[in-house]
Amino acid sequence: MTVMAFTIAIAGKGGTGKTTLAALLARQLIKAGKGPVLAVDADANANLNEALGIKVDDTISELLNRINHNLEPLPAGMTKDQYVAYRVHQSLAEGDDVDLLVMGGPEGAGCYCYANNLVRGFMQDLSNNYPYVVMDNEAGLEHLSRRTTQNVDILLVSSDSSARGIRSAGRVKELVDSLKLDIKKMYLVVSKVTEGTVEALQGEIDRTGLELVGTIPLDDQVREMDLHSKPLVDLPDDSPVVRAVQQIMEKASIL
Instruction: Please report how many Cα atoms fall inside a 13 Å half-sphere around the Cα of residue 8, on the Cβ side.
Output: 27
Of 43-47, 91-95, 192-196, the poorest mean pLDDT is in 43-47
Select 6-251's CATH number: 3.40.50.300, 3.40.640.10, 1.10.600.10, 2.60.120.10: 3.40.50.300
Phi-psi region of 192 (alpha: psi -120 to 50; beta: other; left: phi over 0): left
Banded model confidence at residue 74, pLDDT cuts 50, 70, 90: confident
- pLDDT value, residue 145: 47
213 or 85: which leads in pLDDT:
213
Instruction: Please report how many Cα atoms fall inside a 13 Å half-sphere around the Cα of residue 6, on the Cβ side.
Output: 16
- Locate the domains of the chain by residue range: 6-251
Residue 57 in 3-state DSSP? coil
- pLDDT value, residue 148: 52
Residue 193 in 3-state DSSP? strand
Banded model confidence at residue 138, pLDDT cuts 50, 70, 90: confident
- pLDDT tens for 5-50 read 899 999 988 888 999 999 999 999 999 999 999 999 987 777 899 9
